[in-house]
Each structure stands twice: as C-alpha cells, then as structure tokens.
Chains A and B, each alone.
Chain A
C-alpha cells in the first residue's frame, strides 16, 4: 500500500521546521517550569512523551492516502461532536471550565480534535467546485451548520479561545475557496449587525467579561496584571536575552500560565530579540511552506485540507504571540509546538501529518 516513491517525496523541510520548533519548545519548557526538586514527573518530560506520541501519529497520518480522510470526513466530524457532548455531560471541571474527558488514566480535550475534524469536513464539502462566480449563500447552509454545532458546544464549556480559532478557520477557508465577494460582504455585514444586537441580551457580568477581554487594563488585578508582567518579561529580555534558565520573571512566578498560554514570554525573556526572531522566523517559514503545499496540491480536497491546517496554525501563532506582546486581547490560546499540553501537541502534529501527506503526494496523483 505504501508507495516507495512516497519516501523520495517526503517533505524534509516541513519535518525539519516542526522538529526544530518542538525541540526549542522542550528546552524552553524545561527552563520555564524548572522548580528545583519538586516531586512528580517534570512537565518537560511529559511533553517529550507527548511529542513522541505526536510524531508517531503524524507519520501514521501522513502515510495513509488522504482520500481516506475525505471518505470518512463526516464520520470523524460526528465522532468528535459526540465527544464534545460527552465533555459537557461528564467532563472534568478545571479552573472554571469543563473541557476535559477522562478515559482510563488519560484525559484529553476533545475541542482540540474538533478543530481537525472540522477542517477535514470543510475540505470534504468544498471538494465539490463552485459555479462560475464562486460559491453563493445558497451553497453554504451545511458549512454553517458544521461551524455552529462545535462552536456552540465549545463556547458552552466555556472555551472562548478555541471557539474563536474555529470561527477564524471557517472564515479563512471561505476566503480561500472563493465565495462570491458579494456573499462575503453580506455575511460580514450580517455578522456586524448581530454583534451589537446580541449585546443587549447579555447579562451584566458577561458584558464586563467581554469588555475586560478587549481592554485588560480594566481588570488590573487579573488580566491587566498578567499582561503587564508578560510585557515586562519580554521587554526585559532586550536584544540578547537574560540567558537560559535566567529569566527572573519566570522563575519568581510573575508570569501567569508560563507553561501554556504565556510560554512565549518566557522565551522572550531568556533569549531576547534574537531568540524570539528565530522562533517567529521558523513559524513564518512554516506558514509559507504550508501555503506552498496547499497551492501545489493536485486536487481540491488536498488543497483545502492543507490550507485549513495552515490557517489553524497561523491564527494560533498570531493571536498567542499578539496576546503575549500586548497587541491582542487576552484569549486563552496556546502556541503550537511551544506550549505545554498533550492534546494540543497531538492535534498540532496530526495537522502536520495532513500537511506532510498532501505534500508528498503532489507528484503522485
């Protein structure tokens, strides 16, 4: 089943970028979470384990012909949706949100995998080409349904970050597959109208939460404080950084969630502008390379699938780093390959598997 030519076409560039970023991630995590002799498995070791599992999953995903995913797209989608329902019913509540499902001794976040199954389902739908002018509103009820179901369930957890990512993936794919400009414009206007209307239906505390989300300064004891500390961390790194294991912000516990959402501030503090640019550069390369894969794909499904994955990566990277640097609202979105988290590492690497998959088949089909 596995064609020997696949090996000759294996995308070593992509693989190399992924591996470099993941290695930097482990190193950074080691420093960010170092606490001396604390009992229990250190986070970086767990992350290495997840990386190993993720790489295995990535290779597996890459070598299964991607038309298989197309055939079972809606099945995958349904399963992941069921998992989301299970989370709301039986999920574990941690720090105020119900996001995790436990199976045996392993717990994972179904919302992470929904992102992927959503992309696959969208690719499956837009596999059918549009009319001459592009897709019109009449073609789109199903994609909207595909979007709204998981988004609603994830918002209910509540997990604002992941819902936003799914929405952004959706919008990105619509732009990519060529929906008529008029249709896009109508949707943008409708969306713009719904937002102020629904504002009136929100309760006071919900409004407050959203306002502080866009203006963290209004919450000086929570998000605002975190943001200041994060900026101090990155800024104090200067050009060359304070050096590995020398980040005071990080070591003294001023950084919130330094192993997950704010892991980039630890990097900025210890490695400075130079280190930050290396990582940002690698991400930039990853995105451009991914776009190249999407555009060189020989068929619609492969192109949309890989584009969806690129969009997912891009929004994660842009929003997370933007948040850490204080140019974006404080949303809980992790940074691919750098943030700690098993489900997230796994879903990111499976996404990379899709990219590798499409990439190495561009000459075969």
Chain B
C-alpha cells in the first residue's frame, strides 16, 4: 500500500474557521426560515391546512385536427361535459353520491368503486364518474349544483372523427395511457389515464397533436365549490395535420369494397404521397375516444377478420402473378431472355415428379414476354424462373423494395419475405429445391408482400424505377394556419434496371388492361390508358385435379386472394394503386373493378380542381 502523505496538512487547518462559519450561516438560515414559517406564519398556514382550500383544476389542450389534403376536417374535438366527484368532499356529504347516481341513472355501487379506487390517489383529486352527459343531465346537475358539494362538471375536448370508420387504420385511435407507457415516457406532461394516440397517425404524430395542457390553481370554499382563482395557465392547442389522403377518393375506395375484407393503397408515384389507404374490415375510432368498454375492445380483438390490423402495411400475402413483373425484369436484365424469346404453353409443365399447371386450361400456345405478361401465362414464367434462378429473382425483388419495410412513418409495418437459397438455409437448414423456384417465379410459395410494397413496386415501374418514401402527412400547421413543418417528397433511391426493360414491362402492363385477352380488362377506362397486373395468391396448395370452377364451392377461408396493381394514365402516371381482396378469387374479377373505380374518381377529381392542375401542366410542358 502507498505511504501516507502528511505534507501540507496545515492547508486544511487554515480553512477550518471559514468552513465552520459557512456551515453555521447555512444552518442559521434554515433555522430562520423554520421560525418564519412555523412561528410567525404558523397560524395562517394552520388555517390554510385545516381544510386545504387550494386545488388544481385541469384544463386540457385541444388536440390538433386531422384534415385531408384539400383541408376537409377528418378529426377534431367537440366539447363534452364530464362529471367528477371529489372523494374527500363526499366523506362529509355521503348523500351526494346517491343523488348524483339517481340524476345520471348510474349504479351507486359502481360510482363508489371508482371514487374509492386506488388508495394512493390524493383525496382531493377529482375522479371522473361519467363523461359526455347530454343536455338534460347537464341541466339537472346544474340546477341542483348548490346542494351537491364535491360535484364538478367540467367541459373537456372530446375527439371526434367526422366520418366514422373512414381511413380508420391510417388515422388510428386514442387510448388511455397505461402505467407501463407512463413509465417509458420522458414527457412530464402525461399522467395516468390521459388519452394519447395509440395507433396510426394519432400515435406517430402524438407530439405534434397533443398541445400543452393548462389548468387553474383555485381556492375552494368549505363545500368544495370554487371561490377564487389564484393562478391559471392557458392550454396551448395541438397542431393540425394536413394528411395526403383525399377524402372523396378515400370514400370511393372504401365503398368499392362493400363488405369484403382486403386492402387498398393509392399513391402519387411522382412523390410518394398516399392518396387513399383502406383496410377492411375497419373500426370506428370514435369508440376509443369515449374510452372503449371492455366488451367492445374484446369483440374487436377477437374478431376473426382482425379489424384492428392495417392490412396495407401489416398484411403479408403472396403477390401471385403480380410478381411476374419481377421475374420478367430479372430475365430481361440478366439477358437470359429477350423480348422475342418464345416459349410454348400447353397448359401443363411437368417438372420433377409434379405437373405444374397454367391457370388457363389447354394453355396459351407459343408466347413471347409481352403476351405472357398480358395473358399472365404461368408456364412461360416457370421456365424463365428456372433459367434465371432463385437468387437472381430475389436480387431484383430486393431491388424493388420487397422483403423490407418501405419506411412509411406508421408503426408495426411488416417487411414481407423474399426467399433465396441463403434465406431458406438460415430458416430451415434445408437446401433450396428447384421446384420451389417455379412457385416463386409466379409469386407463390414462401414469398410474401404487403399491399404497400406492391404499390411501391408499381410506382417504381411507372416512374422510371424511382422510389419515393411513402408519406401520409403533407404538413403540420399550428391553429393559426402557420406552416410549422412540411414533408417534401423524399427520393429513397432508384432500382438498378435499364429504362428499356421498364419500357417493355410498362407496355406489357398496358396491354394486360387494354389488349384482347388481357387479364386486367376489368380496369380499362375509355378516357385514359391504364396499365396494370392481376394476381391471384393461393391460400392453400390446391390438389392436382383441381378444376377452375371448383373455387366457388370452396369454403371462403380457403379461397384465393385477389390482387390488382395499376398505374394511370399510361403516358404520364399520376396515380398508382394496389388492391387486395382477401379470398376474392381471381384478381381480374374481384380486385380490378375496385381499382378502376378509384382511378376513375381520382382522374375526375383532378380535372375538377382544374385551375391548379392546369397551371402545373402548363408549367411542366414549358420545361419539357
């Protein structure tokens, strides 16, 4: 051990008198203050404490509104009258509880349970017993106010969604902050039971929307009635969000689904803005805003059709024939096929010990790439897939953003799966079988994608391979309309694919909608040319002897999912869209008509709001 160092100890001694004096003064200060509070002001404070009169009344901030891209209100707040009781005041006037329960037609036992709730709550903190009372109830309470000490009726902003379940998955919902969230947050404003965004835009833009709560420090009389405000802090309302979706378009899209389950997402391929986002079945976020009942929550959670899931970003489905776009690009880019490569389809392709079938019985005859995409010939792509190989297909799938989240600013986005030899090795340890390549080439088997990923894919095809980050909020404004934050388009990258390849694919997709025998005929419009691709995703492996007509006799849950992806107008795409109808059967008949309605609507909206658009086209023409 080190030696003791005893040099210069006198330095310390020299400090002694200063230190003692310093400490002495400090303690003298404490003593003086104690004397002042307890002796001089003692009786005053004693009186104040006798029936502690100083209370806090909250004044929560208005949550920011949600508006569509043309400024129409989707979510706002309306005043709601809420009833509170102060537990401590009830002790002296227990009859208040029964009287209030009669007036509001509530079970007194239930109120008692609420009021007596957790023991550690301060006794003077008001407990909410009923929210959103109607005018009659309000009148009854106010009329008797004088005889009801301990009763507080306060106006609070209540979240209201004007169109019910419209775009509910995008908008999201509110919920009471629970204990674990409260522990996680670093924001001091939150308390238990406060409503916060739990899902969708309400969740992700919580910080912008919430505003700053205010309140009053008030003095109350012995009966708990407010007698004198002491100090107050005004609430600061939250900021408004202007979303990218269009109310009219969203409405048409929602209605087109009728009662089917599925998803739709429409995007402006030029900037990544989401124009409509539908996930069906949906839910009514108004249920959550009035604090959802356990039964309602349970029925939403346990519904086998999963209404709370946003299928656009969370639903992962095999892309079916839509994936042939990727297989075609992989073939062209690798030089393994050319636009003139011809393959004969007889309707069956024997491979290994299995017969792989084309969807069209009897086959397509001899087809080249263009016709194979137009008529969605399976046999053609089986063979292209085999030649190209799984890993090259996977490479181009990744090139177009499949297999990873798109990065949209919404929670719980799923990445989907793009299988490859290494992926399979890691997952099951088994090698990749070439038979599985056949399935992959036509978008079946392990591969899965979200509707958002497919709209990104088709947008990139429409847009020369460019990817824009999908965005749902255009800008943030404060209550006075000052723009606080704008979300400009963000180009995320460009698929490494030649312009020529993209042109060939685009032509074929246009043919699929507009040429004879094209599978996407149901989406053809007279005014503009639409380009699109159908897809049918198998839910189960079908038996070898399965006939086309058998699908309608299958139980619903085993029926195929129907896909349709498209962009329009063909020459200068302004909208791209992906539609999925769960268990809808064929993409051509189930999904394409929905896409058609939405595209039609969008183009008519655009021509309606002509002045703005016209200005833009003129400008762009000048630049061209």
Contacts and interface: CB of A to CB of B under 8 A. Distances in A.
A232 interface: yes
Contact of A300 (B5, B26, B37): B5
A80 interface: no
Contact of B186 (A97, A221, A249, A307): A97
Contacts of B120: 35, 38, 253
Contact of A254 (B31, B46, B52, B187): B52
Contacts of B46: 235-236, 238
B404 to A, nearest CB: 26
B11 interface: yes
B30 A235 contact: no
A229 B48 CA distance: 10
Interface stretch (A114-122, A163-171, A276-284): A276-284
A285 B5 CA distance: 28
Interface in A196-248: 217, 219-222, 224-225, 228-229, 231-239, 248
Interface in B1-48: 1-2, 4-9, 11-16, 19-20, 23, 26-27, 29-31, 33-35, 37-39, 41-46, 48
A314 interface: yes
Contacts of A236: 42, 45-46, 48-50
A37 to B, nearest CB: 9
A71 interface: yes
B547 interface: no
Listed residue (A95, A253, A303) with the most chain B CB atoms within 10 angstroms of its CB: A253
A220 B231 contact: yes
A300 B186 contact: no
Contacts of A300: 5-9
Interface in B233-264: 233
A295 B14 CA distance: 10
B56 A225 contact: yes
A288 interface: yes
A232 B219 CA distance: 14
Nearest to A237: B38
Given A277-B31, A318-B26, A254 B122 contact: yes
B183 A178 contact: no
A176 interface: yes
A321 interface: yes
Given A94-B183, A224-B231, A232-B48, A268 B39 contact: no
A294 interface: yes
Contact of A318 (B30, B122, B125, B187): B30
A177 interface: yes
B217 A225 contact: yes
Nearest to A304: B12
A35 B121 CA distance: 11
Contacts of B16: 291, 295
A36 interface: yes
A71 B3 CA distance: 10
Contacts of A16: none
Most buried by A among B33, B35, B124: B33
Interface string B417-444: 0000000000000000000000000000
B187 A234 contact: no
Contacts of A229: 52, 54
B123 interface: yes
Interface residues of B, number: 62
Nearest to B32: A327
Given A70-B2, A129-B7, A300-B7, A238 B52 contact: no
Contacts of B233: 219-221
A220 B232 CA distance: 7
A68 B11 contact: no
A130 B12 CA distance: 12
A46 interface: no
Interface string A239-278: 1000000001100111000000000000011001100110
A254 B121 CA distance: 10
Nearest to A135: B11
B490 interface: no
Contacts of B8: 129-130, 178, 300
Contact of A220 (B122, B188, B217): B217
Nearest to A291: B19
B113 interface: no
Contacts of B121: 253
B230 interface: yes
Interface string B112-129: 000000011111110000
Interface in A46-71: 65, 67-68, 70-71
A8 to B, nearest CB: 21
Nearest to B19: A291
Interface in B187-224: 187-188, 214-215, 217
B293 interface: no
A38 B121 CA distance: 12
Interface string A73-99: 000000000000000000011111110
B88 interface: yes
Contact of A273 (B2, B38, B50): B38
Contact of B5 (A128, A220, A321): A128
20 contacts: A130-B8, A176-B12, A220-B231, A222-B188, A224-B217, A228-B54, A232-B52, A232-B54, A236-B50, A249-B52, A252-B52, A252-B88, A277-B31, A280-B27, A295-B16, A299-B5, A318-B26, A322-B29, A325-B37, A326-B33
Given A176-B15, A178-B15, A287-B23, 18 more contacts: A68-B1, A71-B2, A95-B188, A96-B186, A127-B5, A134-B11, A219-B233, A221-B214, A222-B188, A236-B42, A252-B123, A253-B122, A254-B124, A268-B37, A300-B5, A300-B6, A322-B29, A322-B33
Closest 3 CB pairs of A and B: A235-B45, A253-B122, A236-B49
